[in-house]
Homo-oligomer: A and B are copies of this chain.
Amino acid sequence: MENIVKKILDEREINALLVEYCRALDCMDLDAIANLFSDDCVVKFGTDEQLNSRGSKALAKSLERMWRWKRTSHHLSNVIVHFTGSDKAFSKSYVHAWHERFDETTATIYGQYHDELKQENGRWVITKRTMYMNGNDSGFKVKIFPFERKSPPKNWLAPKIDEV
């Protein structure tokens, strides 16, 4: 029973951590972001070298690129957490991230965070984050890893009524 309650509390804490990342990013509190990751974390947004970093300080430094946006808003949802040990977990979440440039053009991504986490010194931190992209509007140009989608079977026919 106590184990179950601990698990519920751990999940609550992990959810709060994922949410705090969004809040801190939207107000560009990069110190707060570094604090959510382990010292040796690995973060990969895409294949481009500039989209990868190792270590929480390097991550915070790398995210300075977000200052090229005038405003951003990161809406987190679809959070699931799985525990792989008493102090280890992974989580998946969706993010709807809106970005506005100083010329007021915008860029939107519909993405996912896939995270590995550990509990150290009584608190959870992200040890590995990989971002995937379900979709994006034409304003969003960053080459985030695409989320793979299954192909239709060979015999698939588009429905007769196009818009159903």
Q: Inside 8 A of A78's CB, which chain B residues have their CB?
A: 19, 22-23, 74-76
Of residues 1 through 59 on chain A, the ones whose CB sits less than 8 Å from some CB of chain B are 1-2, 4-5, 8-9, 11-12, 16, 19-20, 22-23, 26-29, 48, 50-51
Least Cβ–Cβ distance between A78 and chain B, in angstroms:
5
Report how many copies the assembly holds: 3
Is A120 among interface residues, defined by CB-CB distance under 8 A? no
Interface pair B149/A28, CB less than 8 Å apart = yes
Encoded as 1 (CB less than 8 Å from any B CB) or 0, chain A from 137 to 151 comes to 110011000011110
Cβ-defined contact, B29 with A135, below 8 A: no
Contacts of A159 in B (CB 8 A): 50, 65, 68
> For the complex, is A64 an interface residue (Cβ under 8 Å from B)?
yes
**Complex contacts, A90 vs chain B, CB 8 Å:** none
Flag A75-100 by CB within 8 Å of B: 1 or 0 each: 11111100000000000101010101
- A71 contacts which chain B residues (CB < 8 A)? 134-135, 149
**Interface residues, chain A, with chain B CB atoms under 8 Å away:** 1-2, 4-5, 8-9, 11-12, 16, 19-20, 22-23, 26-29, 48, 50-51, 64-65, 67-68, 71-80, 92, 94, 96, 98, 100, 104, 106, 110, 134-135, 137-138, 141-142, 147-150, 152, 156, 158-159, 161-164
Extra contacts besides A19-B78, A27-B149, A73-B134 (6): CB < 8 Å: A8-B9, A67-B156, A68-B162, A71-B135, A75-B75, A75-B78
